[in-house]
A and B are shown apart, each in its own frame.
Chain A
Amino acid sequence: MDAHHQEPFDEVDGARVIPIRPDAADPSPPPPSPRDRNPVEHALASGLSFLRRRLTGDYEVDEFGFDPDLNASVLLPAFRALYEHWFRVELLGLENVPAKGGALIVANHSGTVPLDGIMLSVATHDHLDRPLRLLGADLVYQVPVLAHLARKAGHTLACPSDAARLLAKDELVGVFPEGFKGIGKPYGDRYKLQRFGRGGFVETALRADVPIIPCAIVGAEEIYPKIADLKPLARLLGLPYFPITPTFPLLGAAGLVPLPSKWLIRFGEPMPLADYGPEAADDPMTVFNLTDHVREVVQQMLYETLLRRGHPFL
């Protein structure tokens, strides 16, 4: 069963080639024709074989700690119900995301809790068959449990070297340039894009020579409407904000259930940056202009998609 661990390491940067579905490539002898069994037995068998792989450590992670087996079998299914039945996510412009090769998805960030990132990764996994590699704040990697689950789900720290490394491996990278300013903005400011960081994402895309794919996520703003912010408590806990929503902390744990808003995720046309060339990354004026341009495109897409959605909860 360890046969596929002995594969030669054929990438120069020391990274392992990870099959998207390692269980499909498992060279262990297949069980006697699973079609002969009933579905329950089959599900049980695959569940047990997953459990055996977990217990014996028989799975691969890449240099970022991405564990495709765990991600596809445990982490994503946990959120798929939320994606399909609670938020009823609808995807638009899926054809704009390239089927292979590096690309940088630039999306708006909202919702107090970063469920938009998780929903976006369910979308690319289920409908594009590509894992999404998000670039997250360092806060994520300081919090126990969240730190390693984020890495196992394929995400990493938002820093230029990690982003460049992922794009060089032809991964689909997602970034929320607004950061905490976006996700923690009050409900009254919903669907108003905040400042797009310092344009680091444009520099990264220019250097890696990958297209930027603007993305508008509509629906995340309503899941936890932040009506107030307990700043002293946030400072005490080392958080960027401590949200008060209509249900939290009023209803206690029940207030943690997100409101069932209707979601639309729209991918815009890829913005190729090849004309600028990698040296444009060192020209701050070009970077600022491109950053502003991407921001305007995402804002425009947001307004259009918002109109198309209609009622936030229906």
Chain B
Amino acid sequence: MPSTAARVVLVTGVSRFLGARVANTLQADPGIERVIGVDTVPPTTSLGRTEFVRVDIRTPGIARVISSAGVDTVVHLSLVTGQAGPRAKAKELNVIGTMQLLAACQRSPDMRKLVVRSSAAVYGSSPRDPAVFTEEDEAVEAPAHGFAKDTAEVEGYVRGLTRRRSDLTVSVLRFANFLGPGVDSPLTRYLAMPVVPTVLGFDPRLQFLHTDDGVEVLRRMTVEDHPGRFNVAGDGVLLLSQALRRAGRPYVPVPAQSIAAFGELGRRFGGMPAFSPELLRWLMHGRVLDTSRLAAELSWRPKYGSEEAFADHVSGRGRGVLLDRLASVIGRD
């Protein structure tokens, strides 16, 4: 028996969208004996043969699950982008949860492999960054707060574990923003606003990843050995203005100083997303990833480019009528 083949897989954050999708994909693989899903809340959808264990990864309970089930592969997906609840709670879940999980992994003699869902947010967004990030690039301005800082810290702890347990196969995946039917994130809530505010004088370059492709990458990383850090994003680049035009969504450029206040009002009275400083920076300077390392490692390209992922995301929501009509009027030649 090859020592690195995944037999017992533990998926964290299984009650959330990505976790549930990954667990469902992994349990369809006959080579995997058991799939164990953990989360703090029970799953809303059926998980099939995935065994659900309600455990908070911030507690030592997770170590007992890992050792008693003889888990050999951990797929860590429970990083939350926050914004739904208080920031301190999200940070606790991300950073303390990961520390506790990694401590349990280090202890367990059965552990073979760790797959971590990280984020392209580790690169930050600034006008002094290179146009395209490779895995070797580091943020010019290190993320100082929010989700980006969490991911940077999580990656730091993962590096620590890799150092101490050199026998583990550790894959860190830096995902671009997920889009696709059913995805709920600060980005999708932003895009769903009735009139989308953009930052006056800036038009960021954006990349999106379709969840289908994200799940496929996570599956490949789990059942095969691909150690290292990898950028994961759909091919191609969209400008924010272009994406919004294609979606037929009306948008209004707002000066950067007032957009935060604007967003705060929307959050308080309209249940809309708040503009965290990192979202604001991303909306100003954007971020593009070089995905050639992943493509070479897996000999695989995402099925959906950034553009198709975006189109698939908005297709379920219906285009705005006004722009369509305007375009069809002047397009008649």
User: Which residues in A have some Cβ–Cβ distance to B below 8 Å?
Assistant: 5, 9, 12-14, 16, 31, 45, 48-49, 51-52, 54-59, 61-65, 67, 138, 141-148, 151-152, 156-157, 159, 161-162, 165
Contact = CB atoms under 8 A, between A and B. Distances in A.
16 contacts: A12-B292, A12-B295, A16-B235, A55-B330, A56-B245, A57-B241, A67-B239, A138-B128, A141-B127, A141-B128, A141-B285, A143-B201, A144-B200, A148-B202, A157-B128, A157-B131
B292 A14 contact: yes
A152 B242 CA distance: 12
B331 A52 contact: yes
Contact of A161 (B137, B235, B236, B246): B137
Contacts of A138: 127-128
Contacts of B239: 61, 65, 67, 148, 152
Given A14-B290, A157-B130, 20 more contacts: A12-B292, A14-B233, A14-B236, A14-B292, A16-B237, A52-B327, A54-B245, A55-B245, A56-B245, A57-B242, A59-B242, A61-B205, A63-B132, A64-B132, A64-B205, A138-B128, A144-B199, A145-B201, A157-B128, A162-B131
Interface in B29-87: none
A109 B131 CA distance: 23
B11 interface: no
Nearest to A64: B131
A284 to B, nearest CB: 22
B327 A13 contact: no
Contact of A13 (B200, B256, B290, B305): B290
Contact of B203 (A51, A148, A159): A148
Nearest to A140: B127
Interface in B163-208: 199-205
B129 interface: yes
Nearest to A143: B201
Contacts of A5: 307
B323 interface: yes
Contacts of B129: 157
Contacts of B305: 9
A136 B233 CA distance: 27
Contact of A165 (B131, B241, B243): B131
B203 A152 contact: yes
Contacts of B331: 48-49, 52
Contact of A147 (B134, B201, B333): B201
Contacts of A12: 292, 295-296
B244 interface: yes
Nearest to B137: A161
Contacts of A52: 327, 330-331
B304 to A, nearest CB: 11
A176 B290 CA distance: 26
B291 interface: yes
A162 B237 contact: no
Contacts of B256: 144
Contact of B291 (A14, A31, A51, A157): A14
Contacts of A145: 201
B199 to A, nearest CB: 8
B130 A63 contact: no
A9 B235 contact: yes
Contacts of A152: 203, 239
A81 to B, nearest CB: 25
Nearest to B326: A55
B242 A148 contact: no
A51 B330 CA distance: 8
Nearest to B319: A56
Interface in B233-279: 233, 235-239, 241-246, 256
Nearest to B288: A63
B290 to A, nearest CB: 6
A130 to B, nearest CB: 19
A48 B205 CA distance: 26
Contact of B130 (A56, A147, A151, A159): A159
B132 A165 contact: yes
B297 to A, nearest CB: 12
B131 A156 contact: yes
B127 A65 contact: no
A151 B206 CA distance: 13
A146 B246 CA distance: 24
B285 A45 contact: no
A312 B88 CA distance: 65
Contacts of B237: 16, 61-63, 65
B219 interface: no
Contacts of B134: 161
B226 interface: no
A148 B201 contact: yes
A147 B129 CA distance: 13
A83 B209 CA distance: 42
Nearest to B242: A57
Nearest to A139: B127
